[in-house]
């Protein structure tokens, strides 16, 4: 574990192996999103689970530009490794992994980009469909709503966005997630960084970056992802070094929703 600062985010290390895998979570999430796949990955690789600045145990330590800052932080982190690393990202973490591999291919062996936004532009649900949820949260922030109710609301919104069957959400997963949104101030910070995330992803030429990527990549989606629909996969030009997979009956966070199926795609790619 590393000390947390704007330059050094919270990083949890586990596993062993000659190769290192770096795991990057999505917007509003934290390193705990990988808890169902880390044990298996750790049997084969050294694993670094990062809480990106602004989230989880690195909350409050972010600055703009956000994604460029993440790239710099990852470069400093990975530079301490004995060789290039594999990077697996979900959602915002996938965009970050793509940006990192594009800027520093010398530090990256390959990337797994799970449910990545931006391939066909910013998903409409982020700017329209999600507005209802944001409005609910905003009203709660300005009204006499107990923190515990707001925390429960955030957990419900997360489960609905991340999972194919939100009512089956793992209680431990939700508890680990909502602990980071126990106060109105924490939720207000989440909304603030969210506006930056949407703006910066919208400004990135994500599809072009994928086409020009010089390291092998696996792009995968949950077939029932509501936030970044799997139809974006049709935009990807497949090749030996550019693989695409769609996991049936799975939502936006396949590492949580369908961990076995996720690993069945990821491990053969990493071990190819």
Q: Both 114 and 160 in a single domain? A: no
**Residue 261 maps to a domain:** yes
CB-based contact 108:85 (threshold 8 Å) = yes
Which of 63-77, 132-146, 159-173 is least confident?
132-146
Residue 127's pLDDT band (cuts 50, 70, 90): low
Which of 19-23, 121-125, 164-168 is least confident?
121-125
**Residue 45 maps to a domain:** yes
- Rounded-to-integer distance, Cα 61 and Cα 96, Å: 17
Q: Both 134 and 250 in a single domain? A: no
Q: Which domain covers residue 56, as residue numbers?
A: 10-124+203-270
Task: Check the CA dihedral 72-75-78-80 and report its sign.
Answer: negative
Domain endpoint, select from 195, 211, 240: 195
Q: Both 183 and 230 in a single domain? A: no
The more confidently predicted of residues 132 and 71 is 71
Residue 271's pLDDT band (cuts 50, 70, 90): very high
Q: Both 120 and 241 in a single domain? A: yes
Torsion angle of C-alpha atoms 118, 122, 37, 72, degrees rounded to 10: 60
For residue 86, what is the domain's CATH number? 3.40.50.1820
Mean pLDDT score of the chain, rounded to an integer? 91
**Residue 3 maps to a domain:** no
């Amino acid at each position: 574990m590393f000390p947390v600062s704007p330059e050094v985010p919270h990083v949890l290390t586990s596993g062993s192996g000659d190769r290192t895998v770096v795991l990057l979570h999505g917007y509003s999430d934290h390193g705990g999103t990988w808890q169902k796949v880390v044990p298996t990955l750790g049997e084969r690789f050294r694993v670094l689970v990062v809480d990106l600045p602004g989230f989880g145990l690195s909350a409050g330590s972010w600055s703009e530009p956000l994604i460029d800052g993440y790239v710099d932080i990852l470069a400093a982190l990975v530079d301490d490794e004995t060789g290039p690393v594999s990077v697996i990202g979900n959602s915002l973490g996938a965009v970050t992994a793509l940006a990192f591999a594009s800027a520093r291919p010398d530090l990256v062996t390959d990337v797994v980009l799970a449910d990545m936004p931006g391939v066909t532009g910013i998903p409409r649900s982020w700017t329209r469909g999600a507005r209802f949820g944001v409005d609910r949260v905003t009203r709660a922030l300005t009204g006499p709503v107990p923190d515990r109710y707001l925390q429960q609301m955030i957990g419900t919104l997360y489960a609905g966005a991340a999972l194919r069957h939100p009512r089956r959400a793992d209680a431990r997963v939700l508890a680990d997630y909502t602990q980071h949104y126990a106060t109105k101030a924490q939720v207000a910070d989440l909304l603030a960084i969210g506006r930056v995330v949407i703006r910066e992803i919208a400004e990135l030429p994500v599809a072009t970056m994928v086409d020009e990527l010089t390291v092998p990549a696996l792009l995968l989606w949950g077939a029932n992802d509501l936030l970044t629909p799997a139809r974006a996969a049709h935009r990807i030009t497949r090749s030996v070094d550019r693989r695409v997979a769609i996991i049936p009956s799975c939502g936006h966070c396949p590492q949580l929703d369908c961990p076995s199926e996720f690993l069945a795609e990821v491990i053969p790619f990493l071990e190819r």
